[in-house]
Amino acid sequence: MPYTPIIGTLGYVLSPDRERVLMIHRNARKDDHHLGKYNGLGGKLEPNEDVAAGMRREIREESGIECVSMQLRGTISWPGFGKHGEDWLGFLFLIDGFEGEPHDGNHEGTLEWVDRSRMMELPMWEGDRHFLPLVFDDDPRPFHGVMPYENGRMQSWAFSRF
């Protein structure tokens, strides 16, 4: 069967002092596959947009701010990650410049500025702990990873950088 993933974006917005990250605490919908977890902002790519435009749109819709500077930090293939075992392919961005003030939350949950030093203490997908250091490190090369999931659990993690 061919690999036909859902394509999505995932962005991490840095505060102007680069000490905090805007995260969503997914606490609004009882049927949410991510309920209780913290995550970056993002979602599915629309048919007629490129990944950068999709990331900017998702940040605008979910937080009310406008991206003015962002870097692609990596890509991750998540076979089996979806609520019903769907495959996902994600483009991960670091947003280091924005205009406006973020909302307090949206239909998915509460938006919170989290100290970067505290991020790994938050409830999140177990796989996020593997790739988040790569999103925030000083290596200018994007990473490209694969993280298969089965029954809501990460099975393995591998990545490369060139």
Per-residue model confidence as pLDDT tens digits over 126-137: 999 999 999 999
Whether 1 is covered by a domain: the verdict is no
Domain that holds residue 101: 6-161
Residue of 7, 24, 6 whose CA lies nearest to 113? 24
pTM attached to this predicted model = 0.94
pLDDT per position as a tens digit, 142-161: 999 999 999 989 999 999 99
By DSSP bridging, strand 20-25 and strand 109-115 are antiparallel
By DSSP bridging, strand 6-14 and strand 41-44 are antiparallel
Whether 10 is covered by a domain: the verdict is yes
Whether 33 is covered by a domain: the verdict is yes
What's the total number of domains in the chain? 1
